[in-house]
């Protein structure tokens, strides 16, 4: 697979996945929140980016306490976003434009408003009781153990009526489903079938590595590396709530359901080190997720040594495991990468994402260089931020602000007289799609140049990865080779001008900075893509 022509690859290996956070993409109804008709209207723009697939963050019926990651009905569209007919129209238009559609599947927990949980609250005898995870109080009447919620506080909430606690790895209004229960699994498998029958091509699976918990319900050990200011959840290690063997078995069941249909895929949200991450792809005889999300470009310090070493190790590990690599720079839970790595480095990062071996996932707005938007505590809406005032980095509103389409009031996201659900970036009059369309040197046109390069040079999609010696510790260079074609990527992570070794000089296909014709000097923060003549 790895050395084949790009035509032999599947769409989810070949193409770029573009994540849309529907609340923030385009408001069509005029209520200050994005919706499905808005997304459909903007699909030609998305197709024009040269991406392969759109992944929509949750659009299902929800009280929106975690902005849709608290699902009250898995097979209905929340009225805020539109109707099933709007959804069908979106899929039809996407397919007409050659785009695949991926939905966000949230199997670990439902909303407490879900009919299943409401029935479970009926008491210990309720037929749905065992669909969730219940425990008696500890001898002192407190929670059954020390497990913590990702959003701070205990992972257990007391139900007065029955005298038991229920488990929630996120908000109390997001009770964990009990995946050990066969009926739960059967119901959740039918959700996958429901959407695939409606034409959905794939799924991003929310917190897939959290599905099962250890049945002994032992306390989790303290994390010796935790420091005040870090999220409270990280104060413990998680040997009993994450990455359990049963989870692997449940994922195999999901995969079997996907394989009932043609050419579908799933990518799993998994924050784990590579040695625990890659097993989530399963084996050829017993496959699991098609792509286990690799978040390490987000988690690692941004320097050539550490990023280069990681890329070498991960590429080699994927090769050894026979699994397809993938790369992510941003999503709705992580601060904008341009803010994280700094504006000067943002094209180095974008070039890396789109030229490494493996499927890139792009977060909406990153293609125009959207940055974190500071959201003061009074305007904050994200529960992760509101519940953890002592962890200033925990809030996710800054990376979820409205897409900047043009320089008009509210950036073309919603009508001028409406307040958008999150504030717009202050710089939206300069940083927006319309302005960047008109500027050949814009981030947007740089992004398109990168996807065009991928389309024109199969080596960038299907070619092998090989590390090259650029002669400087702050320059990371590698080759993508396929048959006789050799495309070299050189990334200057530093602020010094560097001389390019003679064997890395060739025909320049793309450079991130300026118009200098100098083949030998790499400018500070420059990314360059070069074709070597055979």
List residues near ligand NOJ by CB under 6 A: 66, 69, 106, 170, 206-207, 269, 332-333
Determine contact, residues 502/470, Cβ cutoff 8 Å: no
- Please report how close the Cβ of residue 203 comes to ligand NOJ at its closest, in angstroms: 13
Annotation says 437 is catalytic = no
Considering the complex, what minimum distance in angstroms separates the CB of residue 83 from ligand NOJ?
A: 24
Asked if 467 and 312 count as a contact pair (C-beta separation under 8 A), the reply is: yes
Residue 69 or 447 with smaller CB distance to ligand NOJ: 69
Task: In angstroms, give the least distance from the CB of 242 to ligand NOJ.
Answer: 13
Smallest gap from Cβ 93 to ligand NOJ, in A, equals 26
CA distances 366 to 41, 328, 381, Å, are 19, 11, 22
**What is the Cα–Cα distance from 407 to 392, expressed in whole angstroms?**
30
* CA separation for the pair 194, 438 (Å, rounded): 42
At residue 183, the 3 state secondary structure works out as helix
Instruction: Classify the C-alpha dihedral 414-418-423-429 as positive or negative.
Output: positive
- Smallest gap from Cβ 168 to ligand NOJ, in A, equals 10
Nearer CB in complex with ligand NOJ: 220/269 = 269
471-482 b/e with 16+ CB inside 10 Å = b?
ebebbbbbbbbb
Tell me whether residue 233 or residue 332 sits nearer to ligand NOJ (CB atom): 332
- Burial (CB < 10 A; 0-12, 13-18, 19+), residue 490, is buried
Minimum separation from the CB atom of position 175 to ligand NOJ (A): 12
Question: What is the Cα–Cα distance from 312 to 191, expressed in whole angstroms?
Answer: 38
Catalytic residue among 206, 243, 315, 397: 206
Least distance (Å) between residue 106 CB and ligand NOJ:
6
DSSP3 helix / strand / coil % (the chain, rounded to 5): 35, 20, 50
**Quick check: helix, strand or coil at residue 443?**
helix
CA-wise closest residue to 236 among 244, 225, 246, 249? 225
Q: Tokens standing for 235?
A: 């104060």
The nearer residue to ligand NOJ, 188 or 462, going by C-beta atoms, is 188
Residues across the chain: 534
Nearer Cβ to ligand NOJ (70/526): 70
Is residue 260 annotated as a catalytic residue, yes or no? yes
Q: What tokens were used for 457? A: 């040079």
The residue (of 370 and 459) whose beta carbon lies closer to ligand NOJ is: 370
Our CB check for ligand NOJ shows the closer of 177 and 459 to be 177
∠161-163-168 over CA atoms, to 5°?
A: 95
Which residue of the chain is nearest ligand NOJ when measured via CB?
69
Tokens of 445: 């046109």
**118 close to 161: Cβ distance less than 8 angstroms:** no
CA distances from 409 to 23, 34, 428, 442 (A): 18, 16, 9, 22
**Least Å from the CB of residue 57 to ligand NOJ:** 8
Give the active site residue among 88, 215, 259, 260: 260
Active centre residues (catalytic): 206, 260
């Amino acid at each position: 697979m790895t050395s084949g022509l790009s035509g032999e690859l599947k769409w989810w290996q070949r193409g770029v996945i573009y994540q849309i956070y529907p609340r923030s993409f385009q408001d069509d109804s005029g209520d200050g929140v994005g919706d499905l008709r808005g997304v459909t209207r903007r699909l030609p723009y998305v197709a024009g980016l040269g991406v392969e697939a759109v992944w929509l963050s949750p659009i299902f019926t929800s009280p929106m306490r975690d902005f849709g990651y608290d699902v009250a009905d898995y097979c209905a569209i929340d009225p805020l976003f539109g109707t099933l007919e709007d959804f069908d129209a979106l899929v039809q238009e996407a397919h007409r434009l050659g785009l695949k559609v991926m939905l966000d599947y949230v199997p670990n927990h439902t909303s407490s408003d879900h009919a299943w949980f409401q029935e479970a609250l009926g008491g210990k005898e309720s037929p749905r009781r065992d669909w969730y995870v219940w425990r008696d109080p500890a001898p002192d009447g407190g929670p059954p153990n020390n497990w913590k919620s990702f959003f701070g506080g205990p992972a257990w909430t007391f139900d007065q009526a029955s005298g038991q606690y229920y488990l929630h790895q996120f908000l109390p209004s997001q009770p964990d489903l009990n995946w050990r229960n066969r009926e739960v699994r059967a119901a959740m498998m039918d959700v996958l079938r429901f959407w695939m029958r409606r034409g959905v091509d794939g799924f991003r699976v929310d917190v897939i590595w959290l599905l099962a918990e250890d049945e002994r319900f032992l306390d989790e050990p303290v994390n010796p590396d935790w420091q005040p200011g870090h999220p409270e959840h990280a104060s413990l290690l998680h040997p009993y709530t994450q990455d359990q063997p049963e989870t692997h078995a449940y994922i195999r069941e999901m995969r079997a359901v996907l394989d009932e249909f043609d050419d579908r895929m799933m990518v799993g949200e998994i924050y784990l080190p590579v040695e625990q991450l890659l097993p989530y792809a399963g084996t050829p005889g017993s496959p699991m997720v098609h792509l286990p999300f690799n978040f390490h470009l987000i988690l690692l310090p941004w320097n050539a040594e550490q990023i280069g070493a990681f890329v070498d190790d991960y590429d080699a590990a994927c090769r050894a495991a026979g699994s397809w690599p993938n790369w992510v720079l941003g999503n709705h839970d992580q601060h904008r990468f341009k803010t994280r790595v700094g504006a000067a480095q943002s094209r180095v990062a974008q070039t890396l994402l789109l030229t490494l071996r493996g499927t890139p996932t792009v977060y909406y707005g990153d293609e125009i260089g959207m940055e974190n938007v500071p959201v003061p505590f009074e305007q904050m809406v994200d529960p992760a931020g509101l519940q953890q005032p002592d962890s200033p980095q925990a809030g996710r509103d800054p990376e979820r602000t409205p897409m900047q389409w043009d320089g008009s009031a509210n950036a073309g996201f919603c009508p001028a007289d409406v307040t958008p659900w999150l504030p717009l970036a202050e710089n939206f009059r300069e940083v927006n799609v319309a302005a960047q369309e008109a500027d050949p040197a814009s981030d947007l046109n740089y992004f398109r140049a990168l996807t065009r390069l991928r389309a024109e040079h199969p080596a960038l999609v299907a070619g092998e990865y090989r590390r090259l010696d650029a002669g400087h510790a702050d320059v990371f260079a590698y080759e993508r080779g396929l048959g006789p074609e050799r495309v070299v990527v050189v990334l200057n992570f530093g602020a010094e001008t560097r001389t390019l070794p003679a064997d890395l000089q060739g025909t320049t296909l793309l450079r991130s900075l300026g118009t200098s014709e100098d083949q030998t000097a790499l400018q500070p923060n420059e990314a360059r893509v070069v074709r070597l003549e055979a």
